[in-house]
Structure 1
Amino acid sequence: MFAVRRRKVVVNLLDGRALMGERRLSWPWQVVLSGAHLARQGQEPVAVDGRVIVPRHRIDFIQVVG
């Protein structure tokens, strides 16, 4: 049986920002997150409405948290 599970991930971008959220079904050229929070250095995380689509060429590192 094929199962798709949502995983909590942290996506570090090349410009120093980080997105935290649940990874949705993504394509090889993009990562889709839902329930995301945007974190910048020295600031509190800000909730992002809707889905976030991040192109792979903007991603530095992806970490699966849970």
Structure 2
Amino acid sequence: MRFFIAESFDKTEVNHYFEADIPCRIGNRIRARSGRVYRVEDIGWRIDTFDHTPDVRVLLKREKD
């Protein structure tokens, strides 16, 4: 899955992403290896037209530690 950072108080990380195999649900918190804490805002997916694999994207909101 690809995790996109949609909102953050640190404006340098907005629209950045990272790849991870983390099971998540909307509203849950995720702690990254760097120690940053994110809340899952939305989950979406689409089918890639070339290789027909699902592309799962997760929108994250950075939270204060």
The question of a shared fold, defined as TM-score above 0.5 by the shorter chain, is answered with no
Larger Rg: 2
TM-score interval (norm. to shorter): 0.3 to 0.5
Q: TM-score, normalised by structure 1?
A: 0.34
Q: TM-score, normalised by structure 2?
A: 0.34
